Structure 1
Amino acid sequence: MAEILVGTCSWTDRALVTSGWYPRGRRDAEGRLRYYAEQFPVVEADSAYYALPSARTSRLWVERTPDGFVFDVKAFSLLTGHPTRSAALPADLRPALTRRWSAEADPGLLDEVWARYAEALEPLRQAGRLGTLLFQFPPSLAPGAEAEAFLRRCRERARGWPFAVEFRHPGWWRDDREASTVALLADLDAVAVAVDTAQGLPTSMPPVAPVAARRLDVVRFHGRSPHWGTGTKEDRFRHEYTERELTEWLPAVRSLAERTDRLHLLFNNCCADAAVRAAGMMRGLLVSAALPHQVRRAPAAVGGGGAGS
């Protein structure tokens, strides 16, 4: 049965930082990460989606967290086909990202972006702290031959790296498509990411719990806001999970745990400290549900020191 790691999709989200969850004296960059790692054994690094990370940052993440702590890292937006501002790129690459640029006509920019992204995350991989890379694809990526070809190109760039896929187009997981989507991800040696969102909306993701790779499965709890797929980020992800809502997930979590070696449960309902409270509640429910030996506690803390960033 899988080892279950529970955490959140960010430790630097502004709403969390200003919520008061971090104690006094531990609210700088170093203090926040060290404190978070004392509470949970896994976190998603979402900053890499918005800007290319640096090797220095990866090394600091390793230094500030204990052995056994794991980072899932989001892929940079350009790598997954999301709209990307040229300002998010390093200065020398910005001229290449013109309005006419496309991945099909000029894949060279993507190749260079991937090379720099991978180089930046190598310290995490070498230290054994990289859980997976998370390729979250936009709602515009609908199932079909063109989308599958794009997925294969993404996987080819990331050959040899742990690779997880989250779809935002509901069609990938509808009843008539689920089996072929699982088969595609298995062929790509990709981890399937399940999601929890509000139901009954045009953009609602089906509440499925697929397994495509034995080594890992990931569930991202986005909250159940009625504004999912619309509005601001705060509107889309504002939700306070209830014990009943999380209890509904326990059968699926158990099923996933029986079919994988490791399971990451990550909370993305970024409203004040709602995500960390939901993660703590889920961990308690799992222990009460006779899964205590599978639920990983936070590793022992590392010592202080190191520069802020």
Structure 2
Amino acid sequence: MKEILIGTSGYDHPELKGSFYPLNLARKDFLSYYSTKFNALEINSTFYGMPTAERIKSFYDRTEGRIKFSIKLTRVLTHEIDSQWQLKVKEFRTALVPIVDKNALASILVQFPESFGYTQQNRFYLSNLLKELEGMPCVVEFRHKDWIRESVFAGLESRNAGIVFCDMPQLKNLPDGFSSRTPFIGTNAYIRLHGRNQNGWYAKNVYGEETHRYDYEYTIEELKSFIPIISNAQKEGKIVQLYFNNHPKGTGFKNALELQDIVSKL
């Protein structure tokens, strides 16, 4: 098999000292250590705040060019959209210049919420957003299965964008990749493993916070079920990327290492 990009969604988890990270490792050195174990990383902090070129460059510098990055689009462009969105896209693009210049950008992850339904207004917005991001390796993650249809696939293809294959619980509105048979579009085969915690997906604590959505550990057999998907994507000439978002208790890191081992023996 050709090289497959495998990593986790985020890396800065102090609770993993003593399991994934060495006990005596300073938090500032987490990313450097991470880059000795994996060849890719999905940066999620950019979702919560607009990144700067200085911040993005620091990611690259600390990994010394060892890994590729998928950068999550900031939420003001996916969850909290306003009339100034085009200016914010330009700001986001500018911030990514340091890793674009170093050929270290694997993807821009454009993740919409479940509430982003398949409406005319939302279709127009998505089309215009991808136009503003033209030339960048975008992949779109939908959280509502109404988007999983041939017309959407064709639209993404025409805009050189991909679609995320989501591994998630098979609930009413969710576009689980296996059950919806999500195809790979464009140059990337992008797989996000959220876990299959059906009972915890919509669960919230007394503060209204989602606390158990991604609490799940994949078995070895479940991980092996992705091998045919990976193989077919590679035969189609796709760049295969897999990111584990089942981060509670460090299971995403454990599963990512296990999948690396499985892949290395093929």
- Fold-level similarity (TM above 0.5): yes
State the shift of 1:67 in Å.
Answer: 2.7
Residue of structure 1 in register with 2:9 after alignment: 9
Q: Would the alpha carbon gap of residues 15 and 191 (structure 1) be closer, same or farther in structure 2, given more than 3 Å must change?
A: farther
1:211 to 184, 193, 197: 184
CA distance in 2, matches of 1:26, 1:54: 26
Residue of structure 2 in register with 1:26 after alignment: 25
5 Å matches for 1:229-308? 229-231=202-204, 232-288=209-265, 290=266
Q: Would the alpha carbon gap of residues 180 and 52 (structure 1) be closer, same or farther in structure 2, given more than 3 Å must change?
A: same
State the shift of 1:79 in Å.
Answer: 0.7
Q: Would the alpha carbon gap of residues 181 and 125 (structure 1) be closer, same or farther in structure 2, given more than 3 Å must change?
A: same
Q: Would the alpha carbon gap of residues 25 and 57 (structure 1) be closer, same or farther in structure 2, given more than 3 Å must change?
A: farther
Q: Would the alpha carbon gap of residues 146 and 15 (structure 1) be closer, same or farther in structure 2, given more than 3 Å must change?
A: farther
The alignment yields a C-alpha RMSD, in angstroms, of 1.9
Higher RCO (C-alpha 8 Å, min separation 6): 1
Runs of 4+ more than 6 Å apart: none
Read off the aligned partner of 1:242 and give its amino acid letter. T
State the shift of 1:14 in Å.
Answer: 5.5
State whether structure 2 residue 122 is matched by structure 1 residue 147: yes
CA distance in 2, matches of 1:52, 1:77: 9
Residue of structure 2 in register with 1:53 after alignment: 51
CA distance in 1, matches of 2:202, 2:155: 25
5 Å matches for 1:106-121? 106=83, 109-121=84-96
Q: Is the 8 A contact 1:2 1:263 kept in 2?
A: no
Percent identity, please.
27
State the shift of 1:169 in Å.
Answer: 0.6
Matched residues, number: 258
5 Å matches for 1:91-240? 103=82, 106=83, 109-173=84-148, 177=149, 179-199=150-170, 201-206=171-176, 207=178, 208-213=181-186, 215-226=187-198, 227-231=200-204, 232-240=209-217
Higher deviation after alignment, 36-45 or 279-288: 279-288
With normalisation by structure 1, the TM-score equals 0.78
Which structure's CA Rg is the greater one?
A: 1
CA distance in 1, matches of 2:58, 2:3: 26
Gaps of 5+ in 1: 84-101, 291-309
5 Å matches for 1:57-96? 57-80=55-78, 82-83=79-80
With normalisation by structure 2, the TM-score equals 0.90
Q: Would the alpha carbon gap of residues 250 and 134 (structure 1) be closer, same or farther in structure 2, given more than 3 Å must change?
A: same
CA distance in 1, matches of 2:15, 2:194: 15
State the shift of 1:195 in Å.
Answer: 0.7
Q: Is the 8 A contact 2:195 2:215 kept in 1?
A: yes
Q: Would the alpha carbon gap of residues 280 and 221 (structure 1) be closer, same or farther in structure 2, given more than 3 Å must change?
A: same
State the shift of 1:114 in Å.
Answer: 1.7
